[in-house]
Amino acid sequence: MLKSIQWKMVIIFVLLVWLAMSIIGVYIIQAVEKDQVDNVINNAISNANYLEYMLEDKMARPYEVQAMVNSWFAGQINQIKAVYVFNKDKRYVAHEGGDLRDPAEDSIIISQALEGKVAEDFNRFVDLKNNYKSIAIPIVSDDNEIRGAIYLNVNLSNINKTIGNIKSILTSATIWAMCFTVLMGSILSRTITGPIKEVTSKAEKLAKGEFDHTIMVRSDDEVGKLAEMFNYLTVRLKSTLNEMNNEKEKMETILTYMTDGVIAVSTDGTILHANPAAFKLFNLSQDHVAEKNFDDITEMLGLSFRHEDLFTGTKEKNDLIKIEDSTIRYSVVPFKNEAAETAGAIIVLQDVTEQENLDRMRKEFVANVSHELRTPLTTIKSYTETLLNGALEDRNMTLKFLNVIDSESDRMTRLVKDLLMLSRLDYDKAQWNMKEIDLTKILTDCVYKMDISAKQKKQSITLEISEDIPQTIGDKDRIEQVIINIISNSIKYTQEKGKINVSMWKEEEYICIKVQDNGIGIPKKDMDRLFERFYRVDKARSRMLGGTGLGLSIAKQIVEAHKGKIFLDSIYGEGTWVTIMLPIVSSVN
């Protein structure tokens, strides 16, 4: 309790009052005492002067002196305790009253009186304690001759009584003042400490995160200002915390939903944060990362990267890493703490697998195109040179060579046409002649056209078309191109005397066309890449058969432009079947 400011203030007030009252008391008592003592002494001296006057010519007659002293003393009974008369030789002549004190002790003042001075003892406090004071006055004759001395013990007990009264009044006044001070002091200090207590309790609540408490501002003084500032502080703190929370949430949302992976690693390799994209890129779950160090994770992924490499120049800060089938680009950026020292590093991970694949495909495409164009050109060039070098004379040879040159130019023309077609499809520049089409007729015509080539290989083509095929919308020439490519593939990649079956039926809102052969088939590993440009299972064989590897990719683009689907399935060595599904559309729009 005594620790509280309120009680400290009360104690200080009380001590101040006590000190003030004590100082005042001492001064009052001293002043009263001096005044009283002076009064009594002066009175005694003037009374003694009367005795001196009576005794001045009777000193030679001791009996008269004694009688005089007796009658004088009777009138002074309350003021004088004792009176002694000495002759000029300091010899005792007469006395009256109690012999409290041996006049010999005061022989100095008696001697002084015999020298003609009014003398008194100087120790006022000792006198007061003894309740009397000694004075001595000379007995002087009319002709100024010193005849003796009167020595008196002046009674001071009345003064002590008065002072005792004053002291008790002062003491009780002090006690009352102190009690009053305790009361007033506690009320006054409470008005100061009350708001401070309120601020303290509100601050405690604030520390617990309760921001909805304000303090009533009751005054305009320092304490009022403190309350006002506290309220302002609460509001500012609340809004700052809200802002920080919002920022944090924003950051967390960004980190959670961004497609790039972000990992924060401290200088000792502890993983501070990893966002879901980072988990996904590294094929990890939260459990993998919990309690784990950056080095444990990289080791688990089989990477040679260690956390020290993030902060030293030993590894590239921007490079590619391979994790299973994915290619990931990482960039490392160090971050600093408030003291501007490196506190860790942020690693940003980007899945560039698709980009890498596209890049590889683009390079392959360019290489393929140049290769496909160069091969016929080389053939044409060498045949032409041979002819120019004299082979022209041989008519048979010339005819054979010109046929080769012709077929190689056709091949180049076809290739360029296919490439142009693909590029138009790529850039959506293809002109579509969308009209109502009769797929039954188209398919029958295609099979008819291809029958000639099949016959050359002694293959048989059978055709089955269900009767409920409706009309639909499409580009006749392009659909024909697709069907012919698929049937021609079957013819090309099926041995002599093989069987090819072409069928068409309606399935819900689709018309399905299936071309099935019992040819060489396609190995499983190549199946996924068949629709890629220039992809051929057996390059040499395809080339020999006149293929460039663009047919299926063009077919896929055309079918997809009709909002249809194309699938290829095959059993290696047994046969292949391609299914096209075209949606049934009733009007051009």
Ligand X SMILES: Nc1ncnc2c1ncn2[C@@H]1O[C@H](COP(=O)(O)OP(=O)(O)OP(=O)(O)O)[C@@H](O)[C@H]1O
For residues 130-165, one letter each, b for 16 or more C-beta atoms within 10 angstroms of the residue's C-beta and e for the rest, the string is bbbbbbbbbbbeeeeebbbbbbbbbbbeebeeebee
Q: Check binding of 537 to ligand X (CB under 6 A).
A: yes
C-beta neighbour count of 511 within 10 angstroms = 24
Which one of 36-44, 159-167, 464-472, 517-525 is the stretch in contact with ligand X (CB under 6 A)?
517-525
- Near ligand X by CB under 6 A, which window of 20-28, 165-173, 333-341, 549-557? 549-557
H helix or E strand, kind and range, residue 271? strand 271-274
Please list the alpha-helical segments (H only) found in 208-303: 222-257, 276-281, 286-289, 294-300
Q: Is 520 in the site for ligand X (CB under 6 A)?
A: yes
Judged by beta carbon, residue 123 or residue 423, the one nearer ligand X is 423
Residue nearest ligand X, CB atom distance: 551
Backbone phi and psi for residue 258, each to the nearest 5 degrees, phi listed first: -70, 150
Binding partner of 47, given ligand X, Mg ion, none, CB within 5-8 angstroms per partner class: none
Q: How far is the CB of 542 from ligand X (least distance, A)?
A: 4
Cβ-Cβ contacts under 8 Å for 295 (sequence gap 6 or more) = 269, 306, 307
Task: Decide if residue 522 touches ligand X (CB under 6 A).
Answer: yes
Q: Considering only 232-240, 454-462, 468-476, 519-527, which stretch makes contact with ligand X by CB under 6 A?
A: 519-527
Task: Indicate which of ligand X, Mg ion, none lies near residue 576 (CB less than 5 to 8 Å, by partner kind).
Answer: ligand X
Backbone CA torsion sign across 237, 242, 248, 250? negative
Helices (H), 507-550: 524-527, 539-544
Residue 12 near residue 106 (C-beta atoms within 8 A) = no
Which of 198/517 has CB closer to ligand X? 517
Q: List interacting residues with Mg ion (CB under 5 A).
A: 485, 489, 551
Contacts of ligand X in 554-583 (CB under 6 A): 576
Residue type, 210: E
CA-CA distance, 11 to 95, in Å (whole number)? 58
Q: Which stretch of DSSP H or E encloses residue 535?
A: none
Of all helices (H) and strands (E), which one includes residue 446?
A: helix 439-456
Shortest distance, position 282 Cβ to Mg ion, whole Å: 42
> Nearer to Mg ion by C-beta: 113 or 559?
559
**Residues 582, 584, 587, 589: is their CA dihedral positive or negative?**
negative
**Residue 489 touching ligand X (CB under 6 A):** yes
> Binding partner of residue 475 among Mg ion, ligand X, none, CB under 5 to 8 Å per kind?
none
Size of the site for ligand X (CB under 6 A): 21
User: Contact with ligand X (CB under 6 A): which of 112, 485, 518, 557?
Assistant: 485
For residue 5, give the nearest of 184, 197, 218 by alpha carbon: 197
- For position 490 contacting ligand X by CB under 6 A, the verdict is yes
CB of 308 to ligand X, least distance (A): 51
What residues are paired with 85 via a beta bridge? Answer: 94, 150
Contact window for ligand X (CB under 6 A) among 234-242, 252-260, 433-441, 534-542: 534-542
Contact of residue 520 among ligand X, Mg ion, none (CB under 5-8 Å per partner type): ligand X
Does position 552 bind ligand X by CB under 6 A?
yes
Of 33 and 418, which CB lies nearer to Mg ion in the complex structure? Answer: 418
CB 343 within 8 A of CB 266: yes
Residue 368 makes contact with ligand X by CB under 6 A:
no
User: Which one of the spans 92-100, 309-317, 445-453, 541-549 is the region binding ligand X (CB under 6 A)?
Assistant: 541-549
Q: Using the rule CB under 6 A, is 530 a contact of ligand X?
A: yes
Q: Is 255 in the site for ligand X (CB under 6 A)?
A: no
Name the phi and psi angles at 84, rounded to 5.
Answer: -130, 145
User: Applying CB under 6 A, which residues contact ligand X?
Assistant: 485, 489-490, 493, 517, 519-522, 530, 536-538, 542, 547-552, 576
